Amino acid sequence: MNNMKRIVILLSTVLVMASCSALKNVQLDSEALGSAAAKTLTAVSISDADIVALSAESVAYMDSTNKVLTSGAYAERLARLTKDIQVDGLQLNFKVYETEEINAFACGDGSIRVYSGLMDVMDDDQLIAIIGHEIGHVVHKDTKAAMKRAYMSSAARDAVGSVGGLVQTLSSSVLGDIAENFVSAQYSQKQEFNADAYGFSFAVNNNHDKYSMYRALNKLTDMNGGSTMSKVQKWFSSHPDSGERASRVKAMADSLE
């Protein structure tokens, strides 16, 4: 079963890579045509409202295809850690997925999902820092762009003209592709550094150790390459350069009073 899961992850990574060429093709077409109309066509194919709806639908899809733990040690620990957390402009909701994958993600609708595999290897401080990092991607609108890319790389992008009722027109397999692409979204190094800085402040502001983000990144770096590699590969493929990033957040912590 785990092998199946990994195969699915590999496939979704391939889809993300394929999406790059698909996006390039869209841009080349627009350039070749050189017309505002072509650009408008690309732009209207997914609106901000569609992105919000897609985010909520993607989370609903992920919730329905993962085992959500609503009671027990994992759920209680996450609830205890997050009960006082607030972020301006976001209606946060937290859930645990039971899976050995080491991952977590946040969506533009304020949904935060934490995998039990991540909770197994991180202490409370490290876990809060990683959650903060993921929320940072939402606050910085990285997830909005990622959701748009996930949509544009799916079969749904051919459904131009369904603006407004976009989500209702998507089949569950297309929605699944979008959700998988979103969860394994690639962010730029700059986006990662900024999300780390957010995670660093997030941990400190929520009364956790100032080295929380540093220790979380160090932990992931240590695990990468060892026997646990396959379990962290997903987080690493979407969050590269953890060694370099760890030293940056350590400097932030060192200089904090």
- Separation of alpha carbons 46 and 42, rounded Å: 8
Instruction: Establish if 245 lies at the interface with Zn ion (CB under 5 A).
Output: no
Q: What's the closest the beta carbon of residue 238 comes to Zn ion, in angstroms?
A: 7
CA distances from 87 to 131, 205, 249 (A): 12, 11, 21
Segment contacting Zn ion by CB under 5 A, of 121-129, 160-168, 169-177, 186-194: 186-194
Tell me which residues in 125-154 interact with Zn ion (CB under 5 A).
none
Contact 74, 83 (CB under 8 A): no
Name, in order, each residue with C-beta under 8 angstroms of 166's C-beta and a sequence gap of 6 or more.
46, 47, 50, 53, 54, 156, 159
Return phi, psi of residue 119, to 5°. -65, -30
Nearer Cβ to Zn ion, position 102 or 195? Answer: 195
Nearer Cβ to Zn ion, position 231 or 239? Answer: 239
Instruction: Establish if 95 lies at the interface with Zn ion (CB under 5 A).
Output: no
Find the residue with minimal CB distance to Zn ion. Answer: 239
Nearer Cβ to Zn ion, position 166 or 195? Answer: 195
Choose the catalytic residue: 101, 134, 180, 192.
Answer: 134
Instruction: Establish if 239 lies at the interface with Zn ion (CB under 5 A).
Output: yes
Segment contacting Zn ion by CB under 5 A, of 24-32, 50-58, 219-227, 231-239: 231-239
CA distances from 111 to 94, 190, 194 (A): 6, 23, 20
Instruction: Establish if 219 lies at the interface with Zn ion (CB under 5 A).
Output: no
Nearer Cβ to Zn ion, position 30 or 231? Answer: 231
Instruction: Establish if 195 lies at the interface with Zn ion (CB under 5 A).
Output: yes
Q: What angle do CA 41, 152, 107 make, to 5 degrees?
A: 120
Name, in order, each residue with C-beta under 8 angstroms of 144's C-beta and a sequence gap of 6 or more.
48, 51, 108
Segment contacting Zn ion by CB under 5 A, of 38-46, 57-65, 92-100, 184-192: 184-192
Active site residues: 134
Which residues of the chain form contacts with Zn ion (CB under 5 A)? 192, 195, 239
